[in-house]
Structure formats: C-alpha cells, structure tokens
Structure 1
Amino acid sequence: MFKFFPKVRRSALVLALLLIAPAAVGGGYLGVQYLRGNIHEVAAGELYRSGQLTAGQIRDVANRYGIRSIVNLRGKSDAKWYQDEVAEARALGLVHVDFKMSATRELPMERASELESLLKDVPKPVLIHCQGGSDRSGLASAIYMHTVYGMDFEKAEGQISIYYGHFSIPWLSQAYPMDVTWEKLEEVYRDRAREARL
C-alpha cells in the first residue's frame, strides 16, 4: 500500500495514524464506560461512583456492592430519571440524598465542607453519581478519599482524571472548575492540618 505514496505522504500518513490510534482507543474506552454507566469502585466496601444509572443499573450496583445510600450530585428534578431513581432507592431501602452542584462552576468552600460532612455521615457503602460520572463525581470522590479515607492529595486528585472521562484543560474544558475547586481545597486541607498540629 505504501509504495503508491511518495515518501512525504507516507510519513504524514504514519504520523496521522500514530496520532489517531490513541485517540480512537481512548474514545472507545470512554464510550464504553459511558454506555455502562461509568461505574467504578473508589474504596472497596465504602465508596462507588457512576454516571446517571437506570433503575435496573441501580438495582444491579446495589446488589453487587451492598450499596446502602445514594448521593445524587445533580440535585432534585422533575425529570423521569430522578423519579425512577428515587422510586428504585425506596424499593431497595436505600438512603437517597440530593446534593446539587455544577460541573461548570467552582464549588464554594462552605458547600465543599457540607459535601465532606455528608459523605462522612451517609450509610456505607455509598454510591455517588452525577450525569456522566466524570466531573462532579470525580471531585466528590477526591474529597472523600482525602478527608475520610486519608489518601494524600496527589492520589486523591487521581479521581479527577481522564481515566473517568474528565478533561482538564484550562479555558477549554467546561468542567475545569472542578480542578480549580480541588486546588483551593488542597489549601484548606493544608491549613486544617497545620492547625491540628498546633
């Protein structure tokens, strides 16, 4: 095939394939994750994260992981997904809590503190979810992993990553405020640790 292309075109074709192949594989991975609900175990027996699940997926995840509570980061809604979720949680005997936040705006520090307390107090194992399972769920998971689980900043920050579908590009990514919020929270947590040592 390559013998029909001049050397320059062949090099350009190889370069294009080298650039396209990883994007196609990554896109395929993320596509499958979204179709499956982007469900991930964060801390075994404690915390699980996902995108918006159907009632059947909620039942499956609850049975598989012994889920006792759901934290909905999308907030209350009149939409069918919300009504189905609340009904399924009730049918399964799960605690259902709404904590509305936006992926496109920074989470104020006082709201982050409320979320931290909520995640500490809800019955475990807990499933947290947003719409896609990548941005708000990532920030909430990072908060939990650092403040409840005791994970260091860098490892906890891994919850806000491309692995889960979060794109972190300043001014280009609509969900970049999740990264900004985490950076501010790191300072809050450092200050808290310094005060605790005094």
Structure 2
Amino acid sequence: MTGNRLAHTYPAARKTAAIALLLSLCIGSYFGILQLTGNFHEVVPHELYRSAQLSPDALVRYGTEYGIRTVVNLRGANPGKDWYDAEVATSQLIGMHHVDFRMSASHELSDAEAAALTELLRTAEKPVLVHCQAGADRSGLASALYVGAIAHQGRQASEGQLSLRYGHVALPWLGAYAMDRTLEAVTPWAW
C-alpha cells in the first residue's frame, strides 16, 4: 500500500515542482525585463518619473522625450564612481538639475527624512526623474510619497508604487521591507 501511495504522490510532486519552476522563470524573466528597460515608468504625467540607474544614453533619451528638468539620485553622492560621475556630467550636458538624497532600501526613513524627501520632490523643477539602483524600493517609496502627499491620489495609488509591478517584493523578512514600514509610519501626514 505504501508503494502504491508513493506512485500516486510522485506525479503530483513533479507537477507541483514544474509549476513552481515555471512561475519562478516567469517572475525572473519579468524582473530581468525591468532591469533591461531601466525600470522606467511614468508616475504622474509631466511631473514625476521613476527608474533604475540609467546609462548616460538612456538618461539623454528619457530626458529629451519627457522633458525632464531634475534628476533626484536616491543613492546619494558618490564622486569618483563611474556611474555617478557619468550621471552628473550627462545631467549638466543636457541642462538638468542633479540632486542627491542618500537613503538605503534596508533602513526606514525617519519622519524628518521622509518630510525632507517629500519637500525636495515638491519644490524640484518639474518634470522630475527619481531613481535608485534598481528602481524598485527607494524609487518606490519616493514615488509613493509624491503620489500621496503631493499629487493627492490617495492611499491605494500611493501604496501601489511599492509593488511587484516595479520589482519591489514586500515581504517582512526582506531588508527592503523598510520602505513599506516607512510608508506606513508617514501615513498620517502623507494623505
């Protein structure tokens, strides 16, 4: 009887494993596409765009196509790093303001830091491009703050900026969940 039960269980286990593998491949492919495209998205038309770290060519392309006036780098100033120096030089070359705001995806922002980021986004010359390394976590929080506190599009739209659609995985045991905790903490003044 045990052998017979095993014979019936094995095909079910194989089917479950195949489905899990297929699902993993689909999710992995989606995340790969996000990175290949720079994870660039329109948040509020003519006001706010979000992305991963862009190449100089992509920054010129998106800057020209969308009329971007300000780049907000959420990775913080990193003089001497190739990506940073290229971004600053490209921004200057095409007449964009470049602003650094250092934050970590694995550390919650204090109320004062969240308020400072929101004020920076409120007063920056529009349209604004906000970016971090992958365009998922830090860019997601900055976009959520903008959507809630500046564009007044409501809580659901704001929370949607921190979602799998943009590559953000909201699981409490992952470091980037600090972005979700920050958004929850600032909810009283962000709406």
Letter in 2 for 1:21: L
1:108-127 aligned at under 5 Å gives the runs 108-127=110-129
Partner of 2:162: 160
Partner of 1:140: 142
Matched residue SS, 2:129: strand
How many positions carry a matched residue from both structures? 185
Q: Is the CA contact 2:145–2:190 (under 8 Å) kept in the aligned structure 1?
A: no
Letter in 1 for 2:174: S
Question: How big is the shift at 1:83?
Answer: 0.4
Partner of 1:56: 57
1:84-123 aligned at under 5 Å gives the runs 84-123=86-125
Question: How big is the shift at 1:20?
Answer: 2.0
CA distance in 2, matches of 1:104, 1:16: 32
Gaps of at least 5 residues in structure 2 are 1-6
Q: Once superposed, what is the RMSD of the aligned Cα atoms?
A: 1.4
Partner of 2:4: none
Question: How big is the shift at 1:35?
Answer: 2.1
Gaps of at least 5 residues in structure 1 are 1-5, 191-198
Partner of 1:73: 74
Sequence identity percentage: 42
Q: Is the CA contact 2:56–2:87 (under 8 Å) kept in the aligned structure 1?
A: yes
Question: How big is the shift at 1:168?
Answer: 1.2
Partner of 2:14: 13
CA distance in 2, matches of 1:44, 1:156: 15
CA distance in 2, matches of 1:153, 1:84: 36
CA distance in 2, matches of 1:67, 1:91: 13
Letter in 2 for 1:183: E
Letter in 1 for 2:94: L
